[in-house]
Amino acid sequence: MAAFLACAASFVSAADQLGNEPTGTMAGHPALAQSPRHATTSSGRQGDAINIAFVGSEEDLHRALAVAGWYAADAITLKTSVRIAADCVLKKPYAHAPVSNLYVWGRVQDAAFEQPVGTSPNQRHHVRFWRSRAVDDKGRPLWLGSATFDERVEISRTTGGFTHKISPEIDKERDKLLLDAVAADTIDGYYWVDRFQPERSGKNGGGDPYQTDQRLAVGIVDLRRSQQ
């Protein structure tokens, strides 16, 4: 598996746009060899697909996403849970609205970010990240991510509470996040891992269907670029 991932990873300069032919090759991060393909729910059901990753420190990740125009999600508490429910109903903005917990490597996300759409948390771009224990030769962890678009709010059939329904076009969310980072000049480059997802379609833990080209995008964070 490690050899396949290394061969499938092709490096692309951050100056290029998505979709250009890659130039050269780049070995994958050590954590990719044992990477899960999906997050899971608290009950163990398959959750959202892993479709993006970044390489860098925790500080680098947070600062890079902030520069790119993404807001860190608040933790789930009674107060934030009540607020997001009320703001969805009243159509009030909440740029740091919490996201539900999903699991990778047996733990909830280490970080989550979002971009609101419109005047309420009903619709938003968002991504969860999980930090790998394995690091590369520069001591940098891999942040596995699942980027999706919340297109509406419904009452959950399983919990009876509010839940977001995701758009099936998860590749668009992966590409948007990567392009935002490229536009903000916070990454040194990125590469693709082909056939990372075993199937072209699936469903997440809430039963929402999705389609994908099966690729994982991996960005290399370099904040020195945005500070020059």
pLDDT by 10s per residue, the chain, length 228: 443 343 345 455 444 556 554 433 345 799 998 899 999 999 999 999 999 999 999 999 999 999 999 999 877 767 666 655 655 554 655 667 777 899 999 999 999 999 988 675 678 899 999 999 999 999 999 999 999 998 755 555 554 445 668 899 999 999 999 999 999 999 988 999 999 999 999 999 888 999 999 999 999 998 665 555
**Domain annotation covers residue 95:** yes
Give residue 169's domain range.
2-221
179 DSSP 8-state letter: H
Place of tokens 């916070």: 186
104's tokens: 């990778």
How crowded is residue 160: how many other Cβ atoms within 10 Å of its Cβ? 8
**Domain annotation covers residue 54:** yes
What is the rounded CA–CA span in Å between residue 73 and residue 160?
23
Place of tokens 């396949």: 4
Number of domains in the chain: 1
Pairing, β 141-155 against β 123-135: antiparallel
**Domain annotation covers residue 119:** yes
Q: Are 61 and 221 in contact (CB under 8 A)?
A: yes
For residue 70, what are the CA distances in angstroms to 73, 80, 112, 202? 9, 18, 10, 27
How crowded is residue 113: how many other Cβ atoms within 10 Å of its Cβ? 25
For residue 46, what are the CA distances in angstroms to 37, 39, 49, 52, 131? 10, 6, 8, 17, 19
**Domain annotation covers residue 228:** no
C-alpha closest to that of 137 among 214, 8, 28, 20: 28
- pLDDT at residue 151 in the model: 79
Determine whether 54 is exposed, middle or buried from the number of CB atoms within 10 Å of its CB (0-12, 13-18, 19+). buried
**Domain annotation covers residue 226:** no
**Domain annotation covers residue 227:** no
**190 pairs with which residues across the strands?**
12, 219
Amino acid (one-letter) located at 182: V
